[in-house]
Amino acid sequence: MGARWRARFADLIVVAAAAVPLTLFLLRERQIAGAAGFPLDDSWIHLHFARNLAEGAGFSYNPGVPVAGSTAPLWTLLLAAGAFVAGASLVLAKVLGVAATVAAGVLTRRAALAWGAAPAVALAAGVALVWTGALTWGALSGMEVSLAAALVAAALLAHASDGRAATAALAALATLARPEAILLVPALLLAKPVGARRTLVFAGVTLLALAPFVAFCLATVGTPLPATAAAKVEGGLVGWLAGVAEPARVTFLERPWAFLREWVRWLALTHWLLPVMLAVALVAVWWRRGRALAVPALVLLVHPLAMALLAAYRGPEFQEGRYSLHLLPLALVVLAAVVPRASPRTTGALALLYLALALPALAPAATRYAWAVQNINAMQVHLGHWLDRELPRGARIAVNDIGAIAYFSRREIVDLMGLVTPAIIPYRREGEGGVVRFLAETCPDHLVIFPAWFPRLSAREDLLEVRYRVRLDRNEVSGADEMVVYRLKRCAV
């Protein structure tokens, strides 16, 4: 068998391996949720944006009102392209997610091989990636994480052959899929001798890729970041610039230490050997592969600290590692690149041992995914259908979870969290009283909220009339156990 056919056969093994956890997750989804769905309400946000784009309403949540309300615009645009061809649907999002996951596995195998890993070890890296519960969750979640992982793996492959423009472009595109990937841009720049030409290529390509989205954010939100970032950030540099005040000990000590612990926990949840092996690999990579791979590998250390210090929100393990998953290809390429050359039998045995130890983590991950789908289907999706049946077309709804409710009801949305209604963000900084004041000024017809999030507002019987409520018996991912539909009797505070 020639080298080209061996490479294709190895890629096919990665593709076939991906079917194992995907099948397990889909079976658990059917057993627990009873129907296909997404494990996050945010997935429906992407699909709602994509449908509006495909239908000619622009990058808007309420048609005709452009807003930078996606932290992963590249994924939203990819969904929109798919929706334009085949229509927006849950199946479309899952198919694209699975394709991105398989691509991430294949590209990780090729990148590991390009960085000097033995063929068996490189193959194991690709299979190990698609056998992580986190990436399988990403494949079926309707979220951007698998796309970001594929782009990171592609950037590492381009970097191995010193393709400067391609490396910079892929790292910048990864940033448009998952903003935390921005750390890879300077790391890849510094990974090789930095001259004027290399600097200009990286700076120019990155600027070219990111400038349109930054301009759109400035035009629609008034900041260089999307409304999703402005609404969610709770600390760090971005939070400080937005006026969020917090004690210095939280910013510089408590949160970085907490995020670092979370990062290690999440790596161990992915594969219980991963944090230990990475600790060794981050040292070994300097003398095995030199600066070219060792500098990008430092992102694995910097990532949790940057999350805490730059734009703090939730930690690295939040929602199955949604903000960290794009770095798994980097971790596995670094591990594969430092494995010493040995006989094919020895390396093959070690690779099989690592993969065998990965399998037990898939079953609990599949169960978590399935319960998350059940929660979103039983609450947000159910309420979206109810609102579509019960409310007039012209109704305006104020909500704190905007995804499935907007997608299925297709009513005008007032977002109480500010993800697509940035005008509320200054009010939210005043606490619940500010939200009530915003409601008085905008006067929606109905509210759909978690009463636990707004205890004072939900207790106002003079303002609100209960129309419908949903309560989860087993809540795994929803923001609260109960969500209630209220009719707003009057707008006075």
pLDDT in tens, 348-395: 787 888 888 899 999 999 999 999 999 999 999 999 999 999 999 999
Q: How high is the pLDDT of residue 1? A: 55
Provide the pLDDT confidence category of residue 472 given band limits of 50, 70 and 90.
very high
Is 283 within 8 Å of 301 (Cβ atoms)? no
- Average pLDDT of the chain? 93
Provide the pLDDT confidence category of residue 343 given band limits of 50, 70 and 90.
low
Q: Is the pLDDT confidence value at 208 over 70?
A: yes
Across the beta sheet with 412-415, the strand order is 412-415, 396-399, 446-449, 482-488, 464-471
Percentage of the residues of the chain whose pLDDT score is greater than 70: 97
Residue type, 171: A
Mean pLDDT in residue range 13-24: 97
Number of Cβ within a 10 Å radius of residue 170? 27
Mean pLDDT in residue range 129-145: 97
Poorest-confidence range of 142-146, 215-219, 221-225, 240-244? 240-244
pLDDT tens for 25-60 read 999 999 999 999 999 999 999 999 999 999 999 999
Q: Is the pLDDT confidence value at 5 over 90?
A: no
For residues 72 and 194, what is the distance between their CA atoms, to the nearest angstrom? 30
Mean pLDDT in residue range 110-125: 95
Provide the pLDDT confidence category of residue 411 given band limits of 50, 70 and 90.
very high
Strand partners, 415: 399
pTM greater than 0.75: yes
Poorest-confidence range of 225-229, 274-278, 304-308? 225-229
Residue type, 184: L
Buried/exposed 37-57: b ≥16 CB within 10 Å, e otherwise: bbbbbbbbbbbbbbbbbbeeb
For residues 123 and 113, what is the distance between their CA atoms, to the nearest angstrom? 8
Residue 58, C-beta contacts closer than 8 angstroms, at least 6 positions apart: 52, 64, 66
Residue 84, C-beta contacts closer than 8 angstroms, at least 6 positions apart: 53, 54
Residue type, 483: M
Q: How high is the pLDDT of residue 489? A: 86
Mean pLDDT in residue range 191-214: 95
Provide the pLDDT confidence category of residue 493 given band limits of 50, 70 and 90.
low
Domain positions in the chain: 3-368, 369-488
CA nearest neighbour of 129 among 265, 264, 339, 270: 270
Question: 3-class secondary structure for 38-62?
Answer: CCCCHHHHHHHHHHHHHCCCCCECC
Q: Is the pLDDT confidence value at 169 over 80?
A: yes
Q: Is the pLDDT confidence value at 492 over 70?
A: no
Q: How high is the pLDDT of residue 225? A: 87
DSSP for residue 253: I
Q: How high is the pLDDT of residue 243? A: 64
Mean pLDDT in residue range 282-293: 94
pLDDT tens for 245-279 read 778 788 888 888 999 999 999 999 999 999 999 99
Poorest-confidence range of 139-153, 244-258, 324-338? 244-258
Residue type, 357: L
For residues 316 and 324, what is the distance between their CA atoms, to the nearest angstrom? 6
Q: Is the pLDDT confidence value at 232 over 90?
A: no
For residues 85 and 53, what is the distance between their CA atoms, to the nearest angstrom? 12
